[in-house]
Chain A
Amino acid sequence: MKKVLMGNHAASWAVKLADVKMIAAYPITPQTQIVEELSEMCGSGELKAKFLKVESEHSAMASCIAASSAGVRAFTATSANGLALMHELLHWASGARLPLVMVNVNRAMAPGWNIWADQSDSLSQRDTGWLQLYVEDNQEVLDTVLQAYYIAEKVNLPVMVCYDAFFLSHTYEAVDIPEKQAVQDWLPPHARENILNTKDPRAFNGLVMPDVYMEMRYKLQQAHEEAVAVVKEAGESFAKAFDRSYSTIETVYCDDAETVLVTSSSTTSPARLVVEALREKGMKIGLMKVRLFRPFPVDDICQVLSGKKKVVVIDRNISFGKGGIFADEIRGAIANDPQAPIIFGYITGLGGRDITPELVEDIVMEAEKNERPERLALWKGLKS
C-alpha cells in the first residue's frame, strides 16, 4: 500500500509493523510527531503496546532499558538536546547489550536555539556503543526502522536510526507500507534468554572488577565488528522480502571515477542530481552514500576509495577543533592505504541551512580546481 507520509509518520508505521511492545518518550521538535502518532495507534488499539509518558528523555531511555531487559521490543525517539540528556543511559543500553531501537531526528544543538537539520547531535554520541544508520528519504526511514530491530536482535546491540529534521521529518512523500503479515514473516518474534523475570530472579549489571571489564569491552567491540555483516545481511534479506535493497554504503558511478563525492542522509539526494549532471558533461565523478556510521564500514569504504584521486566529503556536522566528522572518519579509515586519495572535507548546511544542487556543485568544482585542501575543515555557504 502506497501512502503519502511525512518522514516522522513513516517511522511510526515501522514501529507499528515491528510489533513493538513498549514505547516511552518525551516530546521534542522535530521528533514529536513520531510518538504522537504512536500514542494514537496505542489509544485506538491498532498497536497493542504500552505507551509510557515520562518526564524527561533520560527517563524515556531508562524505561526502554527496563523494558528491553525484560525481553520486549522497545522504542523511543528524540532529537538534539533530548538525545544529549540521554547520554549516560546510551552507554548503559549498549553495555547491557540491549537490542533497543531509537529514532533520532537530527537537529542542531543549542545554543543558538535551533530546531533545524544538523547531524552534530547524534554524531556526538558516536562512542556510546550504539549502531548508527543515516537515511536519505521517507521510504528508507520506514525500511531502516524495521531493519534496525532485525539487526539489533541479532547482535544484541542498540540501534539509532538518524534522519534530517524537516527535510525528511516534516516532508510528505509517497511511502510503500509493507503488509503486516509480510513483516511478521520477515522479522522473527523477539525472543531472548537472560531477561528480567520474576519467576527466575537474578541480578544484572552488578560491579565488574578489572579482571573482567576489559573482556566485556572487547566483546562489545567484537559485536560491532560482526554487525557490519549483519547490516548487509539485513539489507539483502529485506530486499528478498520487499524488493528494496540496502547495505552499509551505496555507490553510484564509482567504478571508473577519479573523484568520489561522499554524502550521508538527505544530502545524498541533491548530490545524485549533481553527479548525474557532471557525468553528462564528461567528468569522471562518482557518489558514495555512507548509510552505516557505527560500526564504521571501513573495508567497504576503503575498497571504493582506494586508488581514487580525490574524495570530497560533505558534512552537515562539526567536531569543533577538528572538522567534519564523516570526513575525519574516512581519513582515519584509509590512512594506512598506500593508495589513499586526497580528502577534501567540506562543512555546510549547519542548523538547517539549505543544501542545494548548486551548492554541492560549487563544492565539487572547488575541490576539482585545487590540488590539495588548504585545511582540514573547509566551509561552504558561509555568509561573508
Chain B
Amino acid sequence: MIEIRIHGRGGQGAVIASKILACAFFAEGKFVQSFPKFGVERRGAPVEAFLRYDDKKILLRNNIYTPHHLIVLDHTLIEATNVTSGLQKGGWIIINSSKKPQDFCLPDYRVACVDANELAMKYKLGSRSSPIVNTAILGAFAKATQMLKIDSIVTAVIDEVPIKAEDNAQAAKDAFEQTTI
C-alpha cells in the first residue's frame, strides 16, 4: 500500500486534489481511499488531505502518520509547518514553487518542483491572489513519481472538475512537461 499526504492552504483545493488522484489511480485498476484531514477548514489556514492506494481492498480506517510521498501546494508551508513529519526516507516531495529542487534543503527526500501558480494564472484558474493549483500539481506528481499515467490524471480532472475542466486538464499537462527534478 502507498500512502500520500497533500499539504495546502484552505481554498487551494487540496481535498479535491486527493479525490482526483484517487479517481486516477482507480481508473488504473487500483483500490483507493482518500480523505481530508478530519476537522474544520478555514480559508488560508494549513490543510491536509490524504490518499491510499493498493492492489487489494483497503481495510485501514485511521489517519496516515508515515506517508510515502508528499504533495505541497504552497511552498511557504515548508518553512511554516513541519511538512515532512513522518515522511518515509526517499519519498517524493512535489512542491508548487518557482524555485528549483536544489533550493530546498530536504536531503533525505526526492524533490520535484513546478510553478503551478503560473500555470493557474495562464489558464485563469482562481484569482491572482488565490490561484487554484490543485490540478496542475498533479501533472508534476505523475511526471516525478511515474506512479501513474498523465492520461489518467487528465481524464480524472475532466470528470471531476465542475468548471473549466479542459483548462485544468491542460494545466496538468503543461505541469507534466515543466516539472524540474
Contacts and interface: CB of A to CB of B under 8 A. Distances in A.
B22 A270 contact: no
The 4 A-B residue pairs whose C-beta atoms are closest, nearest first, are A354-B62, A166-B38, A269-B59, A171-B35
A4 interface: yes
Interface stretch (B26-34, B87-95, B118-126, B134-142): B26-34
A165 B35 CA distance: 12
A266 B33 contact: no
Given A4-B26, A166-B35, A166-B38, A273 B59 contact: yes
A171 B36 CA distance: 7
B133 interface: no
B33 A171 contact: yes
Contact of B59 (A2, A164, A166, A272): A272
Contacts of B58: 173
A174 interface: yes
Given A172-B22, A173-B31, A173-B58, 5 more contacts: A173-B34, A174-B31, A174-B32, A272-B59, A354-B63
B80 interface: no
Interface in B56-95: 58-63
Interface residues of B, number: 20
A174 B59 contact: no
B34 A172 contact: yes
Contacts of B62: 167, 270, 354-356
Interface in B1-55: 18-19, 22-23, 26, 31-36, 38-40
A355 B26 CA distance: 26
A173 B32 contact: yes
Interface of A: 2, 4, 115-116, 164-167, 170-174, 266-267, 269-270, 272-273, 352, 354-357
Contacts, number: 58
Nearest to B59: A269
Given A4-B22, A174-B26, A269 B61 contact: yes
B36 to A, nearest CB: 6
A363 to B, nearest CB: 14
A172 B61 contact: no
A253 B116 CA distance: 51
